[in-house]
Structure 1
């Protein structure tokens, strides 16, 4: 597929949407494969990361991290943050410009690749925590897996990445991405 990068983000956000929409009332406090995170914490992470990246790309002040990012409408917060993020990445020159941040310097295109990998990996987490299938665009998952495989090694894994876990070579791409990100993937 030859989508433009912002179209890839649109597809990924749309693919995660049914997972967020499908969270049942009793599942918000359920544990996830992300240590110490509930389903609500994980969805809040998606929203906060979208909002932080939007602020970063547009030169705005970051959102207040002490406020509840989901409020009474987690799905609405997810959708709003995704819409704002797509708009930020679509701004002229954002993908080509190098952005200096706490994690170093990178182009908007590289930051978008990281966002896609994070979003897709957490879709796997959300799927596992809620028992709902994660039907992610395979081409995007394969691209994310290739990207993180090139960007990270067993020796160079920042604190938020656990060591890669074993997974069958013929496992679905999303399982391989999750395992590479440190998740224990069991059939």
Structure 2
């Protein structure tokens, strides 16, 4: 199987890492487009998700859901950017192992092959990277070609999500000529400007 989903994920995790590095000291408690999370919670969610998928790919027992809530468990420590880069690197290493993309892992929404897990982490990195950029006044610089592939994957898979189980809000409108990241954010329930 091609490593394209892993290469795409590595690219978006690198951009997400740049966004985390761009958070200024006074912004960690600021609100985000995710009403229940401030900036620190949002970044903790991203890092925790990468760590969870790494654990599952290794065949290890995941922490209980209560220990994965970024509002009650701090996975960032004193250096959130380093925590994000380490979690991203370890996830890419696991997904790059022979057979990892074909391996079925049990994630919170059900069993998926590693390739689908890589796509799902790309969705998370991009949309929450967009959230982080909005919350901290940073530019969003995800590669358009990668975001287009993730947007195509997301459109195809959203129909498979049972009603009431979607971790995202209902789709919102976006201008047809909007950049791919804006269209993905709108598809996943973010209000976007035209």
**Normalized against structure 1, the TM-score is what?**
0.92
How much is the aligned-residue C-alpha RMSD, in angstroms?
1.9
8 Å Cα contact 2:50-2:88 kept in structure 1? yes
- CA distance in 2 between counterparts of 1:150 and 1:42 reads 26
Aligned residues: 186
Task: Give the 3 Å change call, closer, same or farther, for CA 90–155 of structure 1 in structure 2.
Answer: closer
From 90, 95, 100, give the equivalent of 1:89.
Answer: 95
Question: What SS class does the counterpart of residue 120 from structure 1 fall into?
Answer: helix
Question: What SS class does the counterpart of residue 120 from structure 2 fall into?
Answer: helix
Question: What SS class does the counterpart of residue 176 from structure 2 fall into?
Answer: coil
Q: Deviations over 1:103-149 (max 9, x none)?
A: 22211101111110111111110110011001001111101111110
- CA distance in 2 between counterparts of 1:10 and 1:36 reads 27
Residue 102 of structure 1, CA deviation? 3.5
Name the residue aligned to 1:177.
Answer: 184
- CA distance in 2 between counterparts of 1:9 and 1:3 reads 10
From 104, 109, 126, give the equivalent of 2:110.
Answer: 104
8 Å Cα contact 2:52-2:62 kept in structure 1? yes
- CA distance in 2 between counterparts of 1:103 and 1:36 reads 21
| Structure 2 counterparts to residues 19-58 of structure 1, below 5 A | 19-58=19-58
Residue 155 of structure 1, CA deviation? 8.3
8 Å Cα contact 1:57-1:94 kept in structure 2? yes
- CA distance in 1 between counterparts of 2:153 and 2:6 reads 16
Name the residue aligned to 2:7.
Answer: 7
Task: Give the 3 Å change call, closer, same or farther, for CA 90–130 of structure 1 in structure 2.
Answer: same
More deviation, 46-55/154-163: 154-163
8 Å Cα contact 2:3-2:96 kept in structure 1? no
Gaps (5+ residues) in structure 2? none
Question: What SS class does the counterpart of residue 47 from structure 1 fall into?
Answer: helix
Question: What SS class does the counterpart of residue 55 from structure 1 fall into?
Answer: helix
**Normalized against structure 2, the TM-score is what?**
0.89
Runs of 4+ in 1 over 4 A off after TM superposition: 154-157
